[in-house]
């Protein structure tokens, strides 16, 4: 089934266009499902965050909320953005820059009871990736703190 050159070129062009459209459709399908990956405490308290799917929860660590657990490697704290507050639990070594009143991102899943269970914590200036929105979030929070 060898095609005539003209047709062969047409088929290749069509294939390339199909691949391109396929990539975009595939990407859109993936994004529709998973792009709402970054959530704020406000989103969570307003019910705008799904339960049981991987999420990033970004905000400030509420002053006085860090409670180290007796096992020595677990920590519970409250993440806030000035409007919403979400209790977070994490087992692991927290980054050195993880402090009260400073920006952090928790990666994990929201539980049915409203607690966020993190399997990873990123602190501001952490060596790993920090979503760009954290910059603004922290700035807004600071303003909010001073206004209050």
Partner 1 sequence: MIAEAGLAALWLAFALALLQFCLALAGNRLGDLKTLVAPVAVAQGLLTLLAFVLLIWLFVRTDTSVELVAANSHSAKPFIYRFSGTWGNHEGSMLLWVTVLSAAGALLALIERRLPEASLRATLGAQALLALGFFSFLLIASNPFTRLDPAPPQGQGLNPLLQDPGLAFHPPTLYLGYVGLSVAFSLAVGALLTREVGPAMARAMRPWVLGAWVLLTIGIVAGSYWAYYELGWGGWWFWDPVENASLMPWLAATALLHSINVLAARGSLRAWTVMLAVVAFSMSMIGTFLVRSGILTSVHSFAVDPTRGSFILGLLIFYTGGALLLFALRIASVREGARFDPVSREGALVANNLILSVILGTVFVGTLYPVAVEAVSGEKISVGPPYFNAVTGPLVLILAALLFIGPLLRWRKDSRPNLRRIAGPALVTVAAFGLTFLDPAMGILPRLGLAFAAGLATASFLPLAGRDLRRTPLTIWGMVISHLGIAVAMAGAASDAAFTRETLAAARPGQVLGVGPWQVRFNGVDPVPGPNWTAIEGHLVATRGGTSIRLDPQSRYFSSPATETNEAAIATRWNGQLYTVIGHREGDRWQLRLWWKPFVTLIWLGGALIALGGLLAMIGRLRRERGRPLPVSGAAV
| Minimum distance from residue 125 beta carbon to partner 1 (Å) | 8
| Minimum distance from residue 15 beta carbon to partner 1 (Å) | 6
> What span, in angstroms and rounded, lies between the C-alpha atoms of 83 and 39?
13
Map residue 95 onto helix, strand or coil: coil
Of 71, 37, 74, give the one whose Cα is nearest residue 56.
37
Residue 68 or residue 145: which is nearer to partner 1 going by CB? 68
Residue 79's H or E segment, with its range, is strand 74-80
| Minimum distance from residue 80 beta carbon to partner 1 (Å) | 18
Give the phi and the psi of residue 95 in degrees, each rounded to 5.
-65, 155
> What span, in angstroms and rounded, lies between the C-alpha atoms of 2 and 68?
71
Residue numbers at the binding site for partner 1 (CB under 8 A): 1-6, 8-9, 12, 15-16, 19-20, 22-24, 26-31, 33-38, 53-54, 56, 68, 71-73, 91-94, 96, 107, 120, 127-136
Residue 1 or residue 148: which is nearer to partner 1 going by CB? 1
> CA dist 59 to 33, 44, 93, 123, Å?
23, 12, 19, 10
Residue 8 or residue 143: which is nearer to partner 1 going by CB? 8
Residue 17 or residue 63: which is nearer to partner 1 going by CB? 17
| Minimum distance from residue 109 beta carbon to partner 1 (Å) | 11
């Amino acid at each position: 089934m060898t095609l005539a050159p003209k047709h062969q070129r047409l088929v290749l062009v069509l294939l390339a266009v199909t691949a391109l459209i396929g990539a975009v459709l595939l990407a859109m399908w993936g994004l529709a499902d998973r792009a709402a990956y970054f959530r704020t405490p406000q989103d969570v308290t307003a019910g705008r965050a799904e339960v049981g799917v991987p999420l990033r929860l970004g905000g400030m660590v509420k002053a006085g909320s860090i409670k180290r657990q007796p096992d020595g490697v677990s920590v519970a704290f409250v993440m806030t953005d000035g409007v919403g507050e979400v209790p977070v639990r994490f087992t692991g070594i927290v980054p050195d820059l993880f402090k009260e009143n400073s920006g952090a991102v928790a990666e994990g899943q929201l539980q049915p009871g409203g607690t966020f269970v993190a399997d990873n914590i990123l602190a501001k200036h952490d060596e790993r990736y920090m979503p760009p929105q954290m910059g603004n979030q922290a700035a807004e929070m600071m303003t909010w703190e001073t206004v209050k």
